């Protein structure tokens, strides 16, 4: 399996561009898949520099309904005319950062006819599974950090029912791809028990001192106690990653332009 980081908040080197967003291209034994599209069309520029032909992608997964993960969808639809796009049934609901700034994926994109609306669980084939974990009980608290959703006419804290996770089964390993882990990375590790976890941990709004540092410290200890490997990025935060890295032996960072071979 090869994983190309097409977009992320940081860059491997000056040949690539970055933005607040995430996009991964994954080649498995059976598939050429796109996991998220970043916040704009820029992920496609990085793909070209990495030699990734987006027209050959055979399926696309959108992890959740925020525009830093689905903002490049219009560009993907332009470049690829065949791949189905798997998104949560709730993925086109309206979402906000705070109460004023909308961060939704444009609902008009549904008119393309390319979207597969996913309920809580979908087995795509023997290699790929999607799961929202909406039916799972959280053992660890996960803060919404000011992210909200529209419920009726009221803006309320997001319950992240629109977030889904991709599990790839290959060579007797379970590889988990999570866009932001809004439901809590510790919860996801308990629920899905992957051998390898790739994605954002949503720690970027936590300080590395005071009470927040205790949260990071406890997360590092709990993750390190598991046998998994972790490749993180995006909403984990650079300062927070450095804090975790000092306390974890199997934690690595993916920046735009990085290619990971598993």
Sequence-separated (6 or more) residues with CB below 8 Å from residue 61:
33, 34, 35, 36, 85, 86, 87, 130, 164, 166, 177
Phi, psi (rounded to 5 degrees) for 225: -70, -15
The continuous run of DSSP H or E covering 166 comes out as strand 165-170
DSSP run (H or E) holding 60: strand 59-61
Q: What is d(CA 242, CA 245) in angstroms, rounded to the nearest whole number?
A: 5
Residue 177 forms beta bridges with which residues?
Answer: 166, 198
pTM above 0.75, yes or no: yes
Assess contact for 259 and 27: CB atoms under 8 A.
no
Name the strand (E) or helix (H) holding 187: helix 185-192
As given in the structure block, the two tokens for residue 1 are 């399996």
pLDDT digits (tens, 9 = 90+) for 132-180: 999 999 998 888 999 999 999 999 999 999 999 999 999 999 999 999 9
What pLDDT score was predicted for residue 143?
87
pLDDT digits (tens, 9 = 90+) for 4-43: 999 999 999 999 999 999 999 999 999 999 999 999 999 9
């Amino acid at each position: 399996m090869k994983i190309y980081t097409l977009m992320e908040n940081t860059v491997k080197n000056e040949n690539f561009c970055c933005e607040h967003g995430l996009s991964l291209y994954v080649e498995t034994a059976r598939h050429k898949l796109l996991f998220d599209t970043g916040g704009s069309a820029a992920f496609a520029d990085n793909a070209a520099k990495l030699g990734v032909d987006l027209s050959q992608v055979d399926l696309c997964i959108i992890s959740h309904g925020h525009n830093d993960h689905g903002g490049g969808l219009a560009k993907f639809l332009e470049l690829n005319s065949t791949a189905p796009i798997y998104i949560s049934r709730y993925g086109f609901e309206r979402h906000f950062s705070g109460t004023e700034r909308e961060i939704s994926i444009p609902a008009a994109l549904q008119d393309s006819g390319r979207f597969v609306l996913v309920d809580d669980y979908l087995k795509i084939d023997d290699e790929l599974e999607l799961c929202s974990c909406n039916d799972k009980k959280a053992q660890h608290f996960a803060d919404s950090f000011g992210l909200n959703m529209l419920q009726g006419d009221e803006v309320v804290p997001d319950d992240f029912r629109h977030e889904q996770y991709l599990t790839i089964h290959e060579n007797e390993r379970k590889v988990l791809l999570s866009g932001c882990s809004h439901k809590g990375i510790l919860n996801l590790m308990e629920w899905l028990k992957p051998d390898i976890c790739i994605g954002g941990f949503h720690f970027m709004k936590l300080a590395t001192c005071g009470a927040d540092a205790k949260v990071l410290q406890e997360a590092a200890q709990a993750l390190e106690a598991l046998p998994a490997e972790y490749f993180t990025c995006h909403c984990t935060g650079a300062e927070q990653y450095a804090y975790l890295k000092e306390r974890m032996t199997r934690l690595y960072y993916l920046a735009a332009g990085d290619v990971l071979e598993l």
